[in-house]
């Protein structure tokens, strides 16, 4: 790792009157954060973008159990400011080198009377957004807090178009809604039939939540470095066009967060850009996290993988051996290993390998059901690992905790020691169902700490974690690079069985500008058998497979390997569905680790085009996806190296392609493309475009 550190201390200002507080201005001057104190001594902030107010008067404060409100009778006792340029390298990621240039301002705030409780506000202003956090310093009269409410406001300047999911305390797997801010109605989304756990206590949204103003500016609200704190939802006040932080709670403790001083809250982040594509290009969230603390992670390599997975979601096989159609058999695993080795995929995930699945869903008492070391008797774990090794493929472990985190914590050392012995360095975890103990929620402080403990244990054992039903990504991957990927959205699996017909064509063109801003996504693209039926019509279970399908074209399934970033990318379809399919070539060729990324164009919910240069090869790959509307995209290839020539293959929708009527119509062919070329392509309704450009 290489650090570029240039810190310029601009000034330590002594006590000053509140009206003299100067704003914090981003390096280029386009964004200004202004803190003020009103006549009641209540701190509030405003944000200007290009000299226009973009966040209006927004108050700050806290409510505590057995203690007074903090947020009135406050004065600013000291401020300090510095400019920081601290670029760093990612172990793997959307780009190797991350620029990290911001202006930092610290406001030391203190009550004028009584115990004079201090809370500092730390602000970092970048050219594409900002973050601020509360720092509770060590102090004689205050040693711990029980937070019942964080009162951070975000006051909007208009009724912005908003892309939102409900503020569910238990799951992020909702479709995004598009509406004016004032029409957000999260409560109508309670009790979705396809969610094994869901809890939406009030009209709030989860983050990232993205907005477009009438003037055409973009805003996205999220949080960074969620550590030993509750996840933040944003409560909506439709009349006042305002949001207030609403932390995820616990029915067991009745509070939101318990901490000893000193500590700091997660960063509250606002990305502010003039073009939608710059939201994706921003590194604000990772930059607001601490550098790698786990040391060398060369034991993990970014990879594409296949797995015994999609066949279960289709109902072709099952996790549960007692079903009579067990998927995780030694022979089936070897079939996937052969397929992976033949096509250059580095990993094979095997779900349903360990005993206990007969008591997975729908059981109240799930404690102690899974032990994460005992295979079913038709699965010879040692032999599968030996065979994979011989073929140069790594098995990816699977741990479905069934939301019994205490059981998992007890087993972690044993489970990871087994993985160490077998030379397995990655695990997919799962948290389906309501948390045990009842009354805790997936996104509360207790679970935030559980997910962190898993990362820490993983780091000790050289295990990388791909969590499903996770806590949201907040850039922790910078500090714990073994947080390789996660779900935390409505993934591909919903297309197999969701009773609402699966993810509509606009889903991923929204995801790219919302969930993807938080971090890597294990979406599991690559379904080639788009229509699903009637092939699986003899399957007795498996929900709505008869009427479901993937609501994209085949070309879009390819484009997703570039559009969606993750250092583990699955080719999720069954090996037999890839047989003799020329489009498989793209998945074999496409990179998973990037030297640089260029977000070329896009509009939230409509389309997005991204080009990425593979690390170490100079090869470029491009992906473009559209919603239910067909469109023409014009691509300027000036990102290519002028001194290289490329073997180019274009995978595009056929002229008659359509996500519903003709999803597999596709043309594949070479093209003469180099630096300086400009080309136009037609994307079908629900369609896509994938281009590989390999250095000759
Ligand atoms: C839900 C996950 O999202 C899915 O990928 C997995 O197959 C099941 N849980 C079983 O663990
Ligand atoms: Ca899931």
pLDDT band at 317, cuts 50/70/90? very high
**Interatomic CA distance for residues 134 and 107, integer angstroms:** 10
CA 616 to chain centre: 25
pLDDT band at 19, cuts 50/70/90? low
Minimum-distance ligand to the CA of 194?
Answer: 2
CB of 320 within 6 A of ligand 1: the answer is no
CB of 430 within 6 A of ligand 1: the answer is yes
Kindly name the residue from 493, 506, 595, 614 that is annotated as catalytic. Answer: 493
pLDDT of residue 328: 98
Give the CATH number for residue 569: 3.20.20.70
Contact 490, 173 (CB under 8 A): yes
pLDDT of residue 14: 41
Contact 208, 488 (CB under 8 A): no
Minimum-distance ligand to the CA of 431?
Answer: 1
CA 459 to chain centre: 20
> Taking residues 61-89, what's their average pLDDT?
97
Boundary of a domain, candidates 287, 317, 340: 287
DSSP string covering 69-129, please?
EESSSEEEEEEEEEEEE--EE-SSSS-SEE--EEEEEEEEEEESSTT--EEEEEEEEETTE
Distance 438 CA to ligand 2 centre (A): 20
Give the pairing type, strands 129-136 and 161-164. Answer: unpaired
Listed residue (408, 427, 435) closest to 169, CA to CA: 435
3-state secondary structure of 42: coil
Question: Token pair 């930092």 is at which residue?
Answer: 104
- Report if residue 333 sits inside a domain: no
DSSP string covering 178-213, please?
EEEGGG--GGGG-S-TT-SS----SSEE-SSEEEE-
Contact 16, 23 (CB under 8 A): no
3-state secondary structure of 3: coil
CB of 311 within 6 A of ligand 1: the answer is no
Distance 208 CA to ligand 1 centre (A): 23
Minimum-distance ligand to the CA of 429?
Answer: 1
- Report if residue 478 sits inside a domain: no
- Report if residue 350 sits inside a domain: no
pLDDT in tens, 391-423: 999 999 999 999 999 999 999 999 999 999 999
pLDDT in tens, 529-562: 999 965 664 444 444 456 789 999 999 999 999 9
Contact 82, 9 (CB under 8 A): yes
Contact 498, 546 (CB under 8 A): no
- Report if residue 680 sits inside a domain: yes
**Residues belonging to the chain:** 696
**Interatomic CA distance for residues 170 and 199, integer angstroms:** 6
Contact 126, 26 (CB under 8 A): yes
pLDDT in tens, 29-44: 999 999 999 999 999 9
Give the pairing type, strands 303-308 and 347-350. Answer: parallel
Residue 515 phi, psi (nearest 5): -50, -35
Residue 256 phi, psi (nearest 5): -100, -45
Distance 512 CA to ligand 1 centre (A): 22
3-state secondary structure of 612: strand
pLDDT score of 466 more than 70: yes
- Report if residue 442 sits inside a domain: no
With a CB cutoff of 8 Å and minimum separation 6, the contacts of 546 are 533, 534, 537
Contact 578, 476 (CB under 8 A): no
pLDDT band at 360, cuts 50/70/90? confident
H/E stretch holding 414:
helix 405-422
Q: Point out the ligand 1 atom lying closest to the alpha carbon of residue 469.
A: 3
DSSP code, position 318: B
DSSP code, position 582: T
Q: Point out the ligand 1 atom lying closest to the alpha carbon of residue 309.
A: 7
pLDDT of residue 8: 35
With a CB cutoff of 8 Å and minimum separation 6, the contacts of 513 are 163, 210, 218, 220, 276, 279, 280, 602, 604, 605, 608
H/E stretch holding 601:
strand 594-603
- Is residue 595 annotated as a catalytic residue, yes or no? no
Listed residue (236, 233, 154) closest to 199, CA to CA: 233
Rounded to 10°, the helix 405-422/445-460 angle is: 10
User: What proportion of the chain, given as a percentage, has pLDDT over 90?
Assistant: 93
CB-based contacts of 65-68 (< 8 A; 24+ apart in sequence): 65/146, 65/147, 65/148, 65/254, 65/255, 66/146, 67/145, 67/146, 68/114
CB of 432 within 6 A of ligand 1: the answer is yes
pLDDT score of 451 more than 70: yes
> Taking residues 68-75, what's their average pLDDT?
97
- Report if residue 452 sits inside a domain: no
> Taking residues 242-266, what's their average pLDDT?
98
Distance 487 CA to ligand 2 centre (A): 7
Count of the separate structural domains present in the chain? 2
Among 318, 319, 397, 493, name the best residue to mutate to test ligand 1's pocket (greatest count of ligand atoms within 8 A of Cβ): 493
CB of 468 within 6 A of ligand 1: the answer is yes
CB neighbour burial string for 160-178, b if at least 16 within 10 angstroms, e if fewer = bbbbbbbbbbbbbbbbbbe
pLDDT in tens, 267-289: 999 999 999 999 999 999 999 99
What are the distances in angstroms from CA 597 to CA 98, 130, 307, 508, 623?
A: 11, 22, 28, 18, 11
CB of 589 within 6 A of ligand 1: the answer is no
Contact 347, 305 (CB under 8 A): yes
pLDDT of residue 295: 97
- 234 or 364, which is more confident? 234
- Report if residue 549 sits inside a domain: yes
H/E stretch holding 54:
strand 52-59
Q: Mean pLDDT, the chain, as a whole number? A: 95
3-state secondary structure of 554: helix
- Report the Cα–Cα distance between both ends of the chain, in Å, rounded: 31
Listed residue (11, 2, 145, 167) closest to 79, CA to CA: 11
Listed residue (575, 376, 566, 555) closest to 488, CA to CA: 566
Boundary of a domain, candidates 250, 266, 287: 287
**Interatomic CA distance for residues 384 and 572, integer angstroms:** 20
Give the CATH number for residue 274: 2.70.98.10
Per the structure, the complete domain to which residue 532 belongs is given by: 494-696
Cα dihedral 249, 253, 255, 258 sign:
negative
pLDDT in tens, 202-231: 999 999 999 999 999 999 999 999 999 999
Q: Which two tokens stand for residue 27?
A: 């390096």
Question: Token pair 């990425």 is at which residue?
Answer: 612
Contact 53, 117 (CB under 8 A): no
Identify whether 208 is preceded by a cis peptide bond (ω within 30 of 0): yes
Boundary of a domain, candidates 287, 313, 328: 287
CB of 400 within 6 A of ligand 1: the answer is yes
With a CB cutoff of 8 Å and minimum separation 6, the contacts of 538 are none
DSSP string covering 631-674, please?
EEEEEEGGGS-TT--EEEEEEEE-TT-BTTTBTT-EEEEEE---
CB of 309 within 6 A of ligand 1: the answer is yes
Distance 274 CA to ligand 1 centre (A): 37
What are the distances in angstroms from CA 176 to CA 229, 281, 441, 504?
A: 26, 21, 21, 10
What are the distances in angstroms from CA 275 to CA 231, 615, 688?
A: 28, 27, 21
- Report if residue 296 sits inside a domain: no
pLDDT of residue 373: 97
pLDDT of residue 363: 83
Task: List alpha helices for 423-492, DSSP H.
Answer: 445-460
């Amino acid at each position: 790792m290489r650090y570029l550190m240039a810190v310029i201390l601009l000034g330590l200002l002594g006590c000053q009157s509140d009206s003299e507080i100067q704003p914090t201005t981003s390096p280029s001057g386009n964004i200004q954060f202004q803190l003020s104190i009103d006549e009641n001594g209540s701190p509030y902030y405003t944000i200007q973008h290009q000299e226009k107010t973009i966040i209006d008067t927004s108050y700050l404060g806290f409510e505590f159990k057995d203690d007074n409100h903090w947020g009135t009778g406050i004065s600013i006792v000291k401020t300090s400011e510095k400019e920081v340029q601290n670029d760093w390298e990612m172990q793997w990621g959307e780009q190797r080198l991350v620029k990290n240039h911001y202006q930092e301002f610290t406001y030391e705030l203190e009550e004028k009377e009584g115990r004079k409780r201090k809370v500092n506000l730390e602000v970092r202003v970048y050219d594409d957004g900002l973050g601020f956090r509360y720092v509770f310093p060590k102090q004689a009269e205050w040693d711990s807090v029980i937070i019942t409410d964080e009162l951070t406001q975000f006051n909007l300047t208009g009724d912005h178009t908003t892309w939102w999911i409900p503020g569910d305390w238990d799951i992020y797997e909702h479709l995004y809604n598009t509406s004016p801010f004032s029409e957000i109605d999260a409560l109508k989304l309670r009790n979705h039939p396809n969610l094994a756990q869901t809890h939406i206590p009030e009209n709030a949204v989860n983050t990232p939540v993205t907005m477009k103003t009438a003037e055409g500016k973009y805003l996205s609200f999220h949080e960074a470095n969620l550590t030993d704190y509750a996840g933040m939802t944003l409560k909506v006040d439709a009349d006042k066009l305002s949001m207030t932080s609403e932390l995820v709670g616990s029915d067991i403790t009745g509070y939101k967060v318990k901490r000893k001083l000193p500590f700091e809250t997660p960063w509250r982040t606002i990305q502010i850009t003039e073009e939608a594509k710059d939201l994706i290009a921003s590194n604000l969230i990772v930059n607001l996290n601490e550098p790698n603390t786990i040391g060398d992670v060369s034991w993990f390599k970014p990879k594409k993988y296949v797995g015994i997975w999609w066949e279960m979601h289709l109902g072709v096989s099952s996790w549960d051996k007692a079903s009579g159609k067990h998927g995780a058999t030694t022979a089936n695993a070897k079939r996937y290993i052969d397929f992976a080795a033949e096509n250059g995929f580095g990993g094979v995930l095997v779900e349903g390998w360990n005993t206990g699945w007969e008591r997975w869903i729908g059981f109240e008492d799930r404690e102690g059901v899974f032990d994460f070391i005992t295979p079913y008797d038709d699965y010879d774990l040692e032999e599968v690992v030996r065979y994979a090794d011989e073929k140069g493929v790594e098995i990816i472990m699977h741990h479905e905790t069934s939301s019994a985190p205490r059981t998992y914590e007890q087993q972690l050392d044993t489970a990871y020691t087994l993985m160490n012995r077998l030379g397995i360095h990655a695990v997919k975890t799962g948290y389906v169902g309501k948390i045990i103990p009842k009354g805790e929620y997936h996104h509360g402080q207790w679970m935030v700490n559980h997910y962190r403990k898993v990362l820490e244990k993983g780091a000790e054992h050289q295990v990388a974690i791909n969590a499903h039903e996770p806590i949201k990504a907040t850039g922790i991957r910078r500090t714990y690079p073994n947080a390789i990927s996660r779900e935390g959205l409505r993934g591909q699996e919903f297309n197999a069985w969701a009773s609402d017909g699966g993810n509509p064509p606009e889903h991923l063109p929204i995801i790219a500008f919302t969930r993807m801003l938080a971090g890597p996504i294990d979406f599991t693209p690559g379904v080639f058998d788009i229509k699903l039926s009637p092939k699986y019509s003899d399957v007795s279970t498996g929900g709505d497979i008869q009427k479901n399908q993937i609501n994209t074209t085949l070309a879009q399934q390819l484009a997703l390997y570039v559009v969606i970033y993750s250092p583990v990318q699955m080719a999720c379809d069954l090996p037999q569905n890839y047989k003799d399919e020329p489009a498989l070539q793209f998945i074999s060729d496409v990179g998973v680790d990037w030297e640089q990324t260029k977000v070329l164009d896009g509009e939230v919910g409509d389309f997005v085009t991204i080009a990425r240069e593979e690390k170490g090869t100079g090869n470029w790959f491009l992906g473009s996806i559209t919603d239910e509307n067909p469109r023409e995209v014009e691509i300027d290839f000036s990102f290519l190296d002028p001194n290289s020539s490329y073997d180019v293959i274009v995978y595009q929708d056929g002229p008659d392609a359509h996500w519903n009527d003709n999803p597999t119509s596709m043309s594949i062919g070479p093209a003469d493309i180099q630096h300086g070329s400009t080309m136009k392509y037609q994307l079908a309704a629900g369609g896509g475009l994938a281009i590989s450009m390999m250095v000759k």
